Structure 1
Amino acid sequence: MASELCKTISVARLEKHKNLFLNYRNLHHFPLELLKDEGLQHLERLYMKRNSLTTLPENLAQKLPNLVELYLHSNNIVVVPEEVGDLKELQTLDISTNRLLALPERLHLCLSLQYLTVDRNRLWCVPRQLCRLPSLNELSMAGNRLAFLPLDLGRSRELQYVYVDNNIHLKGLPSYLYNKVIGCSGCGVTIQVSEVKLLSFSSGQLTVFLPAEVKAIGTENDHVLPLQELAMRSLYHTYHRFPKGLNFLSPISLPRSLLELLHCPLGHCHRCSEPMFTFVYPKLFPLRETPMAGLHQGRTTVGFVAYCCSTQCLQTFDLLS
């Protein structure tokens, strides 16, 4: 089997194949032949479904820089290296039915990525940076352990299809997904009262959990934002006052970790787009049926949650306006 595999890869290298099929090869390790010398610079599509891979090489993008589609369905992969973010031409990534606990933070650097499928893994959360993928059109995360989604998910006009079916702890959806095509059957199962956390609020039988980053929840009687939130918003506007590429002229000298936070706030107000870092005012809306809703029968109740930056925005925001 090893000799046959080497021959297949050698022929692909010699004849400059654009597609390479390595499905059902009982592979326990990523083939070193694929990374030999200059790798397969011309390869565009790599199929490695239904093997027993546990890891991916960190130099994958270096050796296979022109990958457009990568299929890793049904393996035993636990971690995807951050260097997957260096695959600048990648448009399709299917890493469903593996053992992923998290997605790489640098995945948002795959600027060409259009289709991302991570169904049936063990994901607890989604990196907020994922919302910054400019070309992402379809995102499928069904059958994971998600309890919440980034507030800005769906803010991009390009993202049209989101599937989060069978995430039983998922109680709400960002309101930016309103009017998108949503698959969410099997979400929001009934929980015991003892499981309800402080960072939650209820409307009828629906309990919505807020992200752990939210340190406080606004109420209509609370008109004063915490000093930390006011400071962060002020820093954000000061830092972004200059045109792109001229931020180094800013008179404010900040630690790198704080600069990174200013580039990626917790979310933006759904009414006025004000950045929010530690404090939000949530507002629950019932789920609206989308044109494709008939394709997802048996869906349980999941609502849309709008997040506002102030009581004024909270009182005046409406999904229909």
Structure 2
Amino acid sequence: MASELCKTISVARLEKHKNLFLNYRNLHHFPLELLKDEGLQYLERLYMKRNSLTTLPENLAQKLPNLVELYLHSNNIVVVPEAIGSLVKLQCLDLSDNALEIVCPEIGRLRALRHLRLANNQLQFLPPEVGDLKELQTLDISTNRLLTLPERLHMCLSLQYLTVDRNRLWYVPRHLCQLPSLNELSMAGNRLAFLPLDLGRSRELQYVYVDNNIHLKGLPSYLYNKVIGCSGLLYCCTCCSLCLECSLRISIYSSCGAPIQVSEVKLLSFSSGQRTVFLPAEVKAIGTEHDHVLPLQELAMRSLYHTYHSLLKDLNFLSPISLPRSLLELLHCPLGHCHRCSEPMFTIVYPKLFPLRETPMAGLHQWRTTVSFVAYCCSTQCLQTFDLLS
């Protein structure tokens, strides 16, 4: 086997091969023949899948300076060494199914990198330097132990496909909503309890998968017309309030740390001249265990919507409420209405999937397809009581 390997590498060197396949060779160490003398200067693609490699050589870039694609899928590599940052021409790096615990910051020096696959490893964090990969289009970090994503990830302006399935994430950084090229976001099988309320505002983002996040109760209404995977979401009798500015859970506590009783919380309101618009009484119940509280911005928008449209009917009141023009335009046209009660929705919706019976496809009676209907409700109450027959 060793002599066959040496022969394969020697032929590649003599004939100046650009591609070298060393998959399934039971390699425990990086072949010395690859690093002998001047190395393989013409090699662009190196395939070393399904071996038993545990590390990479420090002089890899020196011996393989023109490497464009490096496939190390299914090995036993624990650490991505600093030397990886010297492969300045590298465009595709696949380290999936290894034993990675650390990705070195030097990975941020791979300025030509377009595809990075780190799925099925033991990573607990990614270095912030990942944000320096301006040409990165695909990032797959599924099935790791990630608790958070690096804040600088939103600087990957070319990123189109982000897969973070089966990790331990409990929130999505709001900065991800700023990725201008992101087309597909998959975060299934995490611990998400909420999503940024402006997720989906970008026209480029068309596919969002958040299946099997059992604590996730609602979806931002900007995802209303997107392709959404949301099976396995939990709809219970309580709903935490979300802050749009920081997307953090809000709880109200007294100075001693105990939850404030409902009677201790003053009713919030908007004032405009001589008119006062009160928020719904549910706002007072924030912090209790059995309320159905929506995000404060959503409650405010719904109250302003009803007040504004009721005042428009009063012909003697020409300027019903003083609000920014952009906000008035939003009040004229909400992003959607509840299928149960027709309540306007501005920032959050609650989806419910109704699989319908199989029907023949038009013109192709030998094929059948399952037709489904997704209902969007304004609250957990409407979600639980809505039925297609109602």
Q: Normalised by the shorter chain, which TM-score bucket?
A: 0.3 to 0.5
Alpha-carbon distance change, 118 to 288 in structure 1, aligned in 2, over 3 angstroms: farther
Residue pair 1:77, 1:100 contacting (<8 A) in 2 also? no
SS at match of 1:290: strand
* Residue-by-residue CA offset, 1:243-291 (whole Å, 9 max, x unaligned): 9999999999999999999999999999999999999999999999999
- Which piece of structure 1 moves more, 207-216 or 104-113? 207-216
Conserved 8 A contact 1:240-1:247: no
Contact 1:215–1:279 under 8 Å retained in 2: no
Query: 1:31 and 1:241 mapped to 2: Cα distance?
Result: 78
Task: Summarize the Cα distance change of 1:278–1:160 in structure 2 as closer, same or farther, 3 Å threshold.
Answer: closer
Q: Which moved more, 1:233-242 or 1:46-55?
A: 233-242
- Distance apart, 1:106 and its partner CA: 0.6
The one-character-per-residue Cα deviations of 1:7-29 (angstroms, maximum 9, x if unpaired) are: 99999999999989898899999
* Per-residue deviation, 1:159: 0.1
Query: How far apart are 1:209 and its partner, in Å?
Result: 23
- Bigger mean CA deviation after superposition, 80-89 or 110-119: 80-89
- Runs of 5+ consecutive residues of structure 2 not aligned to the other structure: 81-126, 233-255
Q: Using a 3 Å threshold, how does the CA distance of structure 1 residues 157 and 229 change in structure 2: closer, same or farther?
A: closer
The secondary structure found in structure 1 opposite 2:369 is coil
Q: Is residue 350–residue 377 contact of structure 2 (8 Å, CA) maintained in 1?
A: yes
Superposed, 1:86-97 pairs within 5 Å as: 86-97=132-143
Asked if the contact 2:131–2:153 (Cα under 8 Å) also holds between the matched residues in 1, the reply is: yes
Alignment-derived partner of residue 129 in structure 1: 175
Please state how far the C-alpha of 1:99 moved relative to its aligned partner: 1.7
Structure 1 residue 179 displacement after superposition: 1.0
Q: Distance in 1 between matches of 2:190 and 2:312?
A: 40
Stretch moving more, 282-291 or 73-82: 282-291
Say which structure, 1 or 2, has more relative contact order (CA 8 Å, 6+ apart). 1
Instruction: Work out whether residues 188 and 210 of structure 2, in 8 Å CA contact, stay in contact via their aligned partners in 1.
Output: yes
With over 3 angstroms needed to count, the CA separation of the structure-2 counterparts of 1:145 and 1:221, relative to structure 1, is: closer
Q: Is the 8 A contact 1:119 1:143 kept in 2?
A: yes
TM-score (ref. length: structure 2): 0.37
What is the alpha-carbon distance in structure 2 between the residues aligned to residue 122 and residue 263 of structure 1?
40
Alpha-carbon distance in 2 for matches of 1:193, 1:32: 72
Q: Is the Cα contact below 8 Å between 1:116 and 1:138 reproduced in 2?
A: yes
CA 1:170–1:213: 2 relative to 1, 3 Å: farther
Q: Which moved more, 1:22-31 or 1:78-87?
A: 22-31
Higher-Rg member (1/2): 2
Query: Are 1:199 and 1:217, in contact at CA under 8 Å, matched by a contact in 2?
Result: no
Q: State the distance in 2 between where 1:184 and 1:109 align.
A: 27
Q: How far off its partner does 1:147 sit?
A: 1.1
Give the conservation status (yes or no) of the 8 Å contact 1:73–1:96: no
Q: Is the 8 A contact 1:43 1:67 kept in 2?
A: yes
Which sits farther off after the overlay, 258-267 or 38-47? 258-267
Q: CA deviation at 1:124?
A: 1.5
Q: Which runs of 5+ in 1 are unaligned?
A: none
Identity of aligned residues (%): 94
For residues 47 and 274 of structure 2, the distance between their equivalents in structure 1, rounded to whole angstroms, comes to 45
How many residues in Structure 1 have an aligned counterpart in Structure 2?
Answer: 321
Q: Determine the structure 1 residue equivalent to 2:59.
A: 59
Q: Is 1:161–1:182's contact at 8 Å kept on the other side of the alignment?
A: yes
1:111 is paired with a residue whose SS is coil
Q: Which has the higher mean CA deviation after the structures are superposed, 274-283 or 157-166?
A: 274-283
2:33 paired residue number: 33
Q: Are the structure 2 counterparts of residues 242 and 168 from structure 1 closer, same or farther at C-alpha, using a change threshold of 3 Å?
A: same
Query: Which structure 1 residue ranges, 4+ long, deviate > 4 Å from structure 2?
Result: 1-80, 187-321
